[in-house]
A and B are shown apart, each in its own frame.
Chain A
Amino acid sequence: MSASAVHSLWTMAADPIDKIDAPKIEYGQLSPMLIVIGAAVIGVLIEAFVPRKTRYHVQLFVSVVALVAAFAAVVGLAARGFGTTKAHIAAMGAIAVDGPALFLQGTILLAGLVAIFTFAERRLDPEAHGNRVDSFAAQAGSVPGSEGERAATKAGFTTTEVFPLALFAIGGMLVFPAANDLLTLFIALEVFSLPLYLLCALARRKRLMSQEAAVKYFLLGAFASAFTLFGIALLYGYAGSVSYATIANVVEGNVKTIDPALADTMGNDALLLIGVAMVVMGLLFKVGAVPFHMWTPDVYQGAPTPVTGFMAAATKVAAFGALLRLLYVVLPGLRWDWRPVMWGVAIVTMLVGAIVAITQTDIKRLLAYSSIAHAGFILAGVIATTPDGVSSVLFYLAAYSFVTIGAFAVVTLVRDAGGEATHLSKWAGLGRRSPLVAAVFAVFLLAFAGIPLTSGFTGKFAVFKAAADGGAGALVVIGVLSSAIAAFFYIRVIVLMFFSEPKADGPTVAVPSPLTMTAIGVGVAVTLVLGVAPQYFLDLAGQAGVFVR
């Protein structure tokens, strides 16, 4: 049915243009995205009309309500069977409403909700001029260290724009894995990337570093987007359509009619292969796969830590979702071409991420390289090209995102006079001073390392099993070896925290508000539940493992 809808789209051009049918929009099925983006728009209006004093509370309220409502909408859609039997392509072929889309949207919404809590934390920094401050700059436009900045701080300004920005980003991320044509994919990419570039620049402390990170991220992101867009153009040239289903049909040789306008290019395999490589490259940039990973450590380190956590978790979920859909829906007929290439990418990603992390001395950079290694592990599941591969990746993403947000939330707590104490040497002996915080962080590290009874083990086991069943045994061997290397630096941090003497001028652990505590608590709970009793969630991911086409 989607194919016919799409067919009608591009044959319509030949018809006289005197009657245009109103597009059929299934508002109910699109409600999660509509709610979040609508709330983001409301957030902008709040910035414009609500008095500065109350903006923080109103924005937080709107964001939380919107995310909860959107999640409820996702659950409702899943309950009505859209995840399995009634999977459907909505909005004239632009948005897929199927199992993977709903599962990933649910994950993004929950991760986004937890991340919003960390955004809203205002008790970690000491009060500035009697005003509580969060992690974000008082006024984004002021020059760091200038008189203007001091004035803004003194006036008690806060950048409450972060809430609508985050909502826009989440909205884009919701569309990204559900996008069912290349243009929607690209729009979604930009919708969630642009707010993230901004958010990266907003750190209250170390603002220069933060702005540098944002500029790097923006430049490289734009560079990657250009590749993606060019690849989309090539694919359109190849298939005469941007719709996933149509491209897939052309790839598989099911479409024989050739659009006269594209007679020169249609069916040209060089266009297909180059186009695929370029689109995939854009997605690999977003997931932080080697060699498109270079931005990750710098940006993760420079961005405000709550934003880092949000990015590391939600971006990865959205981007892997889009990659899965592209490879499984558009390119299954081409898998003998892309699988070897992705093999190579997965291997170098796992190895580089794990090896370079060994010599890191900053906890945020360490976690950045760890996220690169994890991208490699997830790619191993992507390469499986089986339904198990899809569901294992879904499970891994859900497990990983909560661990990540939790871990970065813990990073925000460990502070000294200069803000967060991210240098590893300052974490020495943390376990003696603040056993609870250190223990929680140890749980997250063990989950990253994939130790049994944590979600990390279940996820890693699932993707490696899927990869092995999918015929990628060698990849699994390298994956396990990389895990062993990675375990070294995770465990080293634990050793540092618990078995080293605390330094005299060591950092203090701030007592957070219930917001951050919730974020960390949810992280620990999800980590342990998915590690100890993962079956329900594995089943859920298993049911959600089929794409609609």
Chain B
Amino acid sequence: MENLIALLVAAPLLGAAVLLCGGRALDRVGHWLGTLLAAASFVFAVVLFTDMLGKGAEERTLSQHLFSWIPVEGFQADVAFQLDQLSMTFVLLISGVGTLIHVYSIGYMEHDERRRRFFGYLNLFLAAMLLLVLADNYLLLYVGWEGVGLASYLLIGFWQHKPSAATAAKKAFLVNRVGDVGLSIAIMLMFTTFGTFAFGPVLEATGQTSEGKLTAIGLMLLLAACGKSAQVPLQSWLGDAMEGPTPVSALIHAATMVTAGVYLIVRSGAIFNGAPDAQLVVTIVGAVTLLFGAIVGCAKDDIKKALAGSTMSQIGYMILAAGLGPIGYVFAIMHLVTHGFFKAGLFLGAGSVMHGMNDEVNMRKYGGLRKYMPVTFVTFGLGYLAIIGFPGLSGFFSKDKIIEAAFAKGGAEGWILGSVALLGAAITAYYMTRVMIMTFFGEERWRHRATASPAQPSAEPAAQTEGAHDEPHPHESPKSMTIPMIVLAFGSVFAGGFFSIGDRFTHWLEPVTHHDHGDSPLSAATVTGATMVVLVIGVALAYVQYGRRPVPVTAPRGSLLTRAARRDLLQDDFNHVVLVRGGEHLTRSLVYVDHSLVDGVVNGTAASMGGLSGRLRKLQNGYARSYAVSMFGGAAVLIAATLLMRAV
């Protein structure tokens, strides 16, 4: 069984290698090959999963040692895999959703001439992501971590002919660099502290390590998680990352890669459990991002950017839960999985809408689409109900548990975090209802366009295939796109309930993450009731604002907060003023020092060497007699020096 683990990674990796090196000969079959290998990986995952279910809870961990990567004395780095319940959950999510999105992309990317390359990148992403969650040590995890970063960069900038896409890819890459530095420092700290990178020894040894060191490692891991999972303060890249093709947004920037930070924190639970200060920072980051993303999501008119804000906010929930320690680990992962279903479904739905609307992304130019794309409407609607936490659907179970866990943290912290989580639930209900109403209900605002709209910055190039009509002809997407949406909708509806009945998910993950019920000041029923109340308030508010009144096609100026939220709460302005300007000043002064001091010393040295050389050269005058004198003098000095050495 263990030998199957490597195949999980190997299948998509092979696909990436073949597709990227294969050349044009594979253009015809490339997408099928990529999808097949992704599906193969999923099949292996299912086989391993059934095998795992057949074993007792404590015997479920499998490991596979492939080879010694860097066998140096005192520095052992192995390529080895570890498959436990936590990685299994991720493997199923990644390969399952990954396969669905491969299928979806067959239809979505049909007219793109670089489709083979797209599937190659997708396979590369799958391989790297699986490596990330299967690694049995932090160094190999880092390889996967960088691999998904690379794939993300390549896919965000897939339409590189658009300057906005190229810029967005670069931005994502650079911001992630900051986080990656955190991970590399964390790994170095681990090596100096524990002498190894492997999960087992590191996490076992946390008990004997000082809290200060654990806090340092924990904060560095958090920095890494912030970069990858778009948490404040490294959140700015996620919105721009929506420049990538929509399947990419669904797979990488909603369901899987952006949740790697949550995986990292939950996997390193033992470190955080020993460092309460680091945990507190994690919860604060989660809570802040939760509100930040939600507020941004309220103001965006671009459907994908609204969803991106929502993703940020939902991952904030997960990070918050992960920061709660054993009370929250299980729920962080559970919300991660249910979110993987409904957010991927929502993005695919958004892609389907765009597909039918000439790649228009501005929701103000949608409206009343439920008649034209019924499948998209239903699946998107189910995803919507799931994310706002409608009773009985996935999000209800997982988000409710996180809110409960936040209160269960206890003390003032518990109250604050719980309230923030509740507030977040209200805002989530508000902005998702807004998206729903603006897209599928109300008047058909796309009908009355006076002239062709100016090219949207995010217009996708597949637009040309629809022809440049003034008016779009909304239509349902092909089967290859709708079937994945339907499958994901099933997950959105039933996954939460399935996991929660009899605390199945808790028992499943408990051997790895451990679980603690905490001590909640509020009863579960009170929390659920409160959640329902804020849910209704949020939906009602949005209905009043967007359902009862006509939606203007051009956005009104809005309040100060709205305008700030449209600008992503001034994240880029902040970065520009603090980082870019500061960086420019720093480099300018460094350049000055370089020119005046460093170059001065260098050039001065060179000039003095040249001068010295010129002078010494004159000694070489060509006369044998001078040479002989030099030798004689040298001999005299040599003898004198030898004698002198004896004398002193």
Contacts and interface: CB of A to CB of B under 8 A. Distances in A.
A220 B631 contact: yes
B642 interface: yes
A358 B643 contact: no
A354 B177 CA distance: 43
A196 B107 CA distance: 83
B301 to A, nearest CB: 55
Contacts of B72: none
A437 interface: no
Contacts of B631: 220, 223-224, 281, 285, 291-292, 294
B620 A280 contact: no
Contacts of B645: 336-338, 340-341
Interface string A334-356: 00111011001100000010011
Q: On chain A, which size bracket covers the interface? A: 35 or more
A219 B629 CA distance: 12
Interface stretch (A36-44, A54-62, A268-276): A268-276
Contact of B624 (A215, A273, A297, A337): A215
Contact of B642 (A276, A292, A295): A276
A482 B84 CA distance: 58
A4 interface: no
A280 B638 contact: yes
Interface in B40-59: none
Interface in B81-127: none
B622 interface: yes
B525 interface: no
Contacts of B501: none
Interface in B616-648: 616-617, 619-620, 622, 624, 626-628, 630-631, 633-635, 637-639, 641-643, 645-646
A277 B642 contact: yes
Given A341-B642, A355-B613, A359-B613, A216 B624 contact: yes
B634 A273 contact: no
Contacts of B614: 359
Nearest to B614: A359
Contact of B626 (A215, A223, A294, A297): A294
B577 interface: no
Interface string A219-238: 11001100100000000000
A278 interface: yes
Nearest to A217: B624
Contact of A355 (B612, B628, B630, B638): B612
Nearest to B640: A277
A485 interface: yes
Nearest to B631: A292
Given A216-B624, A220-B627, A281 B638 contact: yes
Contact of A359 (B617, B622, B628, B638): B617
Given A355-B616, A358-B609, A485-B609, A291 B643 contact: no
B610 interface: yes
Contact of A292 (B606, B610, B634): B634
B642 A274 contact: yes
A293 to B, nearest CB: 9
A298 B638 contact: no
A533 B283 CA distance: 54
Contacts of B641: 277, 340-341, 344
A481 B627 CA distance: 27
A356 B617 contact: yes
B268 to A, nearest CB: 39
Interface string B563-594: 00000000000000000000000000000000
Contacts of B622: 298
A281 B638 CA distance: 8
Interface string B426-437: 000000000000
A294 B617 contact: no
Given A269-B646, A340-B641, A341-B645, A358 B635 contact: no
B549 to A, nearest CB: 71
B620 A294 contact: yes
A246 B115 CA distance: 85
B642 A273 contact: yes
A355 B642 contact: no
Nearest to A489: B613
Nearest to A224: B631
Contacts of A336: 645
Nearest to A295: B627
Nearest to A269: B646
B635 A281 contact: yes
B613 A356 contact: yes
Contacts of A220: 624, 627-628, 631
A273 B616 contact: no
25 contacts: A215-B624, A216-B624, A219-B624, A219-B628, A220-B624, A224-B631, A227-B635, A277-B641, A278-B635, A285-B631, A290-B634, A292-B631, A292-B634, A292-B635, A295-B627, A298-B620, A337-B646, A340-B641, A344-B641, A345-B638, A355-B613, A356-B613, A356-B616, A359-B614, A488-B609
Q: Nearest 8 pairs between A and B by C-beta?
A: A291-B634, A294-B627, A358-B613, A277-B639, A359-B613, A277-B642, A216-B624, A341-B641
Given A281-B638, A356-B620, 12 more contacts: A220-B624, A274-B639, A277-B635, A277-B642, A278-B635, A294-B630, A294-B631, A297-B620, A352-B616, A355-B609, A359-B610, A359-B613
Interface of B: 606, 609-610, 612-614, 616-617, 619-620, 622, 624, 626-628, 630-631, 633-635, 637-639, 641-643, 645-646
